[in-house]
A and B are shown apart, each in its own frame.
Chain A
Amino acid sequence: GEDVEQSLFLSVREGDSSVINCTYTDSSSTYLYWYKQEPGAGLQLLTYIFSNMDMKQDQRLTVLLNKKDKHLSLRIADTQTGDSAIYFCAELGGSQGNLIFGKGTKLSVKP
């Protein structure tokens, strides 16, 4: 079946880099996404990567995809207190065409 796994918590100091990791099981996934959810708010699309890419960079965000290991990571450079949120990894389910989310990683940024 389809499953997306993430570690639940990550704590970093302001100015450091954050790396949030995700593993998925559906090898036929075409797109993988990172969403951000601030307290009490909906999901905000941060970035996505197509499965034939290894890396995508967008300002402070770098997404790395290891398709062989089905491993996705999101690196946030120069992490700020405003980056504190829950980050969800999601795959576009190859068989169903719907988004499969992980449980989210809560990022805490300490001053």
Chain B
Amino acid sequence: DAMVIQNPRYQVTQFGKPVTLSCSQTLNHNVMYWYQQKSSQAPKLLFHYYDKDFNNEADTPDNFQSRRPNTSFCFLDIRSPGLGDAAMYLCATSTNWGGSETQYFGPGTRLLVL
């Protein structure tokens, strides 16, 4: 059974057109993460939520926003996608932050910007 679900799996958007990626989890985990993974690169953490507390990485562009309306769902909003934002976006969850907490990843959404 899928535990971390991402929709859609593939998303095509136009340059400058806002886009929202979705993640949901059935694990009831406190923490949800969004990573950006560009081709042949390591996944890079954009931000994470601990419950409702939002934590932005220092170098995450302002173009990226996130919402977590409840425990199960988390959204990634890209306000004005540029060509450089084309990447795989990975959602992950963990019970708590840090320590021995294993992160469970979804299958990712591949974003293409035309």
| A residues lining the B interface (CB < 8 Å) | 4, 8, 30-31, 33, 35, 40-45, 48, 50, 88, 92, 97-99, 101-104
B45 touches A99 (CB 8 A): yes
| B residues lining the A interface (CB < 8 Å) | 4, 6, 40-45, 48, 90, 92, 97-100, 102-108, 110
Complex Cα–Cα for A104 and B39 (A): 11
Instruction: Choose one: A8, A43, A97; the contact of B105 (CB below 8 Å).
Output: A43
- How near does chain B come to A107, taking the closest CB pair, in angstroms? 14
Assess A98 versus B45: contact at CB under 8 Å? Given A30-B99, A45-B104.
yes
Assess A88 versus B43: contact at CB under 8 Å? Given A40-B110, A42-B90, A42-B105.
yes
Interface SS of B by simple majority: loop
Complex Cα–Cα for A102 and B40 (A): 11
A45 touches B102 (CB 8 A): yes
- How near does chain A come to B89, taking the closest CB pair, in angstroms? 10
Residue of A nearest to B57 (CB): A98
B90 touches A99 (CB 8 A): no
Residues of A within 8 A of B103 (CB): 45, 99
Residues of B within 8 A of A40 (CB): 108, 110
B42 touches A4 (CB 8 A): yes
Q: How many A-B residue pairs have CB under 8 A?
A: 51
B48 touches A44 (CB 8 A): no
Residues of A within 8 A of B45 (CB): 98-99
Complex Cα–Cα for A95 and B28 (A): 26
- How near does chain A come to B63, taking the closest CB pair, in angstroms? 21
Other 5 A-B pairs with CB < 8 A, given A42-B105, A43-B90, A103-B40: A42-B107, A42-B108, A43-B105, A98-B48, A98-B98
Show 25 residue pairs from A and B whose CB-CB distance is below 8 angstroms, ordered by the A residue.
A30-B99, A33-B102, A35-B105, A40-B108, A41-B107, A42-B4, A42-B90, A43-B43, A43-B90, A43-B92, A43-B105, A45-B102, A45-B105, A48-B102, A88-B42, A92-B98, A92-B99, A97-B98, A97-B99, A98-B48, A99-B43, A102-B42, A103-B41, A103-B42, A104-B42
